[in-house]
Amino acid sequence: MARQLTFDLPVREALGREDFMVAPSNALALRSVEGWRDWPGGKLVLVGPEGAGKTHLAHVWAQEAGARIVSAGALGDADIAALCATPHIAVEDADAIAGRVEAETALFHLHNHLLERGGRLLLSAKHPPRRWPLVLPDLASRMQAASCATLEPPDDTLLAAVLVKLFADRQIAVPPRLVAYLVARMERSMAAARALVARLDAKALAQSRPLSRALAAEVLAEASMDSTGPGAA
């Protein structure tokens, strides 16, 4: 039975290994992460679009390796020596620091200190390192030497499973026929799945309506208008 929609319950995203849904689009990346002890040069870059599962895989690895997860954007203000007290580090959104000299310098020192001690460094990014417009040549050369594991766009089966999981994170039971309806009509990305579930939940709560095909049709139409309207990219 679906939860009562009059209560805005907290979202608790499940990020354990048992919650990671394996499909052809992400199986290679998962194998690469699970083989972390043998990463060439001690580092790996996870590459994929927003919402593809990079954060989930970083958490899977952190639990397995006893690693710490940090945002690349926070590195400029971080105590690198204190960070390196942890044997292994995952840095999320590494390509977002390109052009920010303090953050680039911090990542350079983190990379060197960590790997000199035999640690492992996992980085996530939307693009492979060769496309990062880094301003520090030494950092660029080290990042471009890293192996990459790419998460591809999801197929129908994975997209359906992800929708079910995202609803479950919000404590919502969703009918299988509604999931199939959404998969056939939504934008085909993990980020779109997240946005769609959030939008459906918010509209159902605001209007005290159950999840239904009619509600889904309204939300999909609104999302389509947003993406094609005057303000759309």
Exposed, middle or buried: residue 114 (CB in 10 Å: 0-12, 13-18, 19+)?
A: buried
Task: Catalogue all structural domains in the chain, each as residue range(s) with its CATH number.
Answer: 26-150 (3.40.50.300), 154-228 (1.10.8)
Looking at the whole model, is its pTM more than 0.75? no
Orientation of helix 101-116 relative to helix 137-144, angle to 10°? 50
Place of tokens 């766009």: 153
Spatial separation of the C-alpha atoms in residues 55 and 74, rounded to whole Å: 16
Q: Specify the pLDDT at position 118.
A: 94
Q: Specify the pLDDT at position 233.
A: 41
Q: Specify the pLDDT at position 181.
A: 95
- What is the number of other CB atoms lying within 10 angstroms of the CB of residue 9? 13
201: nearest Cα among 191, 216, 188, 189 = 216
Q: Specify the pLDDT at position 19.
A: 60
> For each successive 10 residues of the chain (233 residues), what is the average pLDDT?
39 52 82 95 94 86 94 90 90 95 95 94 97 97 96 85 89 92 89 90 92 94 71 46
Strands (E), 95-211: 120-125, 147-150
Q: Specify the pLDDT at position 12.
A: 43
Q: Specify the pLDDT at position 198.
A: 92
136 within 8 A of 101, measured Cβ to Cβ:
yes
Spatial separation of the C-alpha atoms in residues 131 and 159, rounded to whole Å: 28
